[in-house]
Structure 1
């Protein structure tokens, strides 16, 4: 329970219309910092404070730095001072943090202060602060609070001073990649550290690619490699999808990876993946049909339609039209993903100057002789404003 308020703080809370200056609360900065309204007021005033006003605040918060850093409201005042204070003041505040970085990093509010300090202090002090986490990297990377400190260090501190982080991750890539916080730390390492620090970690990652792409957290790390990694690493990931596209597309997490493979793969790699979509399964089942009706694979199918080129694109749209027509014929299901596929097919037909396809009353309009008598344009208007093809009925 928070302590009783002083008469000055009570007056402040009761008279919000009065213009309160920082000088008006001199001697009460710490108390005001720990109050929700008082904290907000100090933060606002610091944004346009004079040097003297900042000095006033600084001299009151400095002796109470650690206490304020872990307070639900006061931590914001400390963060704001790192933003608005002079470099000398920032250095002095951060000096108080030294020796307490691990403890603060593991604390809900203290971790925010440490992050802010890493943003605003000079490199030599950044190094001193972050080195206090040496020997605790994996623990911190897997902690709900301190993982953010590790991430901020990777974003702000020159990587040549962070070998202790990358060295700690060696042999722990799978552990971190499959962790809700660790997977973020791993991505920041890949983003911010040079090849000499990440090469071994990426090689370790490739040992587990197929497992990670099916993991609820690991799939994000694999997606990072596909989106932002080197072409060689991207190709190593895509190679693990070859021959496994359908089962991976049908897996909740791996389906996201397969989408990225199609979008970010080279032309030859994409063509090979799309060949798998066009080829039937060993038992003769249409891969496209299986993907259209699947809650995850249909999103992969949408990416296939959106990225295919040339003759492969024509074949993909033609076969998708056939399979979707059959699905509409035998099912009244109008799930959202099939509506999206419909739109992609319609846009492609419009691009080619072809008449649209339609499914009157939710089904293909059939007459006894197939799709309907040929019209002069080669299509039969089923009475709904849409047209259906007059070629022979599709078969599976």
Structure 2
């Protein structure tokens, strides 16, 4: 290992760390007497704030916190806590704070969470602060999680459409019991169609579908999706909400979606996004759901016009392939027969 000659700088600790004096994830320091010293967390007492704001210094502290003694953690926490809010908004300091949430003592996690209160909304809008809030929602006690949610109740609508704060809202849905996020759910449900077509918004709706099991909530979400189902299924973001509803919804909700999509089977199947929603229905739907889709695709006459149109489409052909994979043997034989009659084999995609 290359040694660092710092004999010209007898001060301790060494100057702001750089890539040049970083070796094997530890600082190596040559004292004036010539001894090589691998720095410990305790060597930076009195300099932890500045070190936390440095790219390699923050990495050093994070590494040391994983194996630090209780005494070292207490001493480091005592020094960093008065500056916690500023560090939460710093690119590298925020990483140290998140590491304290992960590896700190229970009382230290509670103490850091207390620093959040009164600043949850502003931190949620911050590029680095929002990540600290998310980490806190994963690891702090439930009563503190609920307090975090309460601070956001009056700002939910703003947070939903913010690239950073929307991740905090999503984490609230995933980490806090449903009875404590009523405001968040209500605001989301009231604007499902708009939210589903928004980049971060569609992820929040997916989390609500996965984690909120209240019957009334589920019904309101499904009804909102079904009211504009074709628009959402054919949308670049909305289709993921439809697919999530199909995968995680109740059988009766899934059937409601299948029936609505079946009414527009050609339009949706030919759409690059909508075809994914149809395929999800075939994979997670019941036998009756698949049969309904099959009957609509085959059409009511021997010409099988929907089948011919769909299989020739760039996206539609994948719907037909998924249909062949998910139907029973009798249905598969019928589809293949119709494909052969109309000489459509060349349009089917090759197996991966």
TM-score in same-fold range (> 0.5): yes
Instruction: Decide whether the 8 Å contact of 2:298 with 2:304 is kept in 1.
Output: no
* 2:261 is aligned with 1:255: no
CA deviation after TM superposition for structure 1 residue 244, in Å: 2.2
Which is further off, 225-234 or 315-324? 315-324
Higher Cα Rg, which structure: 1
Q: Give distance in 1, aligned partners of 2:290 and 2:251.
A: 14
Q: 1:88 to 1:262 in 2, by over 3 A?
A: same
Q: Give distance in 2, aligned partners of 1:21 and 1:203.
A: 59
Q: Give distance in 2, aligned partners of 1:238 and 1:268.
A: 10
Give the structure 1 partner of residue 34 of structure 2: none
Alignment of 1:37-186 (within 5 A): 37-186=56-205
Q: Give distance in 1, aligned partners of 2:299 and 2:22.
A: 72
Q: Give distance in 2, aligned partners of 1:247 and 1:204.
A: 21
Aligned alpha-carbon RMSD (Å): 2.2
Instruction: Decide whether the 8 Å contact of 2:282 with 2:326 is kept in 1.
Output: yes
Give the structure 2 partner of residue 310 of structure 1: 329
CA deviation after TM superposition for structure 1 residue 286, in Å: 4.2
Instruction: Decide whether the 8 Å contact of 1:163 with 1:197 is kept in 2.
Output: no
CA deviation after TM superposition for structure 1 residue 322, in Å: 4.7
Q: 1:254 to 1:310 in 2, by over 3 A?
A: same
CA deviation after TM superposition for structure 1 residue 295, in Å: 1.1
* 2:343 is aligned with 1:338: no
Q: Give distance in 2, aligned partners of 1:92 and 1:69.
A: 14
Instruction: Decide whether the 8 Å contact of 2:308 with 2:344 is kept in 1.
Output: no
* 2:21 is aligned with 1:15: yes
Which is further off, 28-37 or 285-294? 285-294
CA deviation after TM superposition for structure 1 residue 15, in Å: 3.5
Give the structure 2 partner of residue 241 of structure 1: 261
Q: 1:9 to 1:246 in 2, by over 3 A?
A: farther
Give the structure 2 partner of residue 210 of structure 1: 230
Return the match for 1:30 from 38, 49, 59.
49
Q: 1:237 to 1:137 in 2, by over 3 A?
A: same
Q: Give distance in 1, aligned partners of 2:192 and 2:320.
A: 31
Instruction: Decide whether the 8 Å contact of 1:101 with 1:133 is kept in 2.
Output: yes
Q: 1:281 to 1:46 in 2, by over 3 A?
A: farther
- Where do 5+ consecutive residues of structure 2 fail to align? 1-10, 29-37
Deviations 1:13-59 (A, max 9, x none): 35334222001111111111111111111101101110011112101
Which is further off, 191-200 or 8-17? 8-17
Which is further off, 143-152 or 11-20? 11-20
Count of matched residue positions in the alignment of Structure 1 and Structure 2: 327
Give the structure 2 partner of residue 349 of structure 1: none
Instruction: Decide whether the 8 Å contact of 1:288 with 1:323 is kept in 2.
Output: no
TM-score in terms of structure 1 length: 0.77
Q: Give distance in 1, aligned partners of 2:173 and 2:197.
A: 20
Deviations 1:178-200 (A, max 9, x none): 11111111111121123243332
Give the structure 2 partner of residue 380 of structure 1: none
Q: Give distance in 1, aligned partners of 2:345 and 2:280.
A: 29
Instruction: Decide whether the 8 Å contact of 2:120 with 2:148 is kept in 1.
Output: yes
TM-score in terms of structure 2 length: 0.87
Q: Give distance in 1, aligned partners of 2:301 and 2:155.
A: 49
Instruction: Decide whether the 8 Å contact of 1:187 with 1:221 is kept in 2.
Output: yes
- Where do 5+ consecutive residues of structure 1 fail to align? 1-5, 329-336, 344-396
Q: Give distance in 1, aligned partners of 2:221 and 2:200.
A: 17
Instruction: Decide whether the 8 Å contact of 2:123 with 2:129 is kept in 1.
Output: yes
Alignment of 1:231-380 (within 5 A): 231-279=251-299, 284=303, 286-323=305-342, 327=346, 338-340=349-351
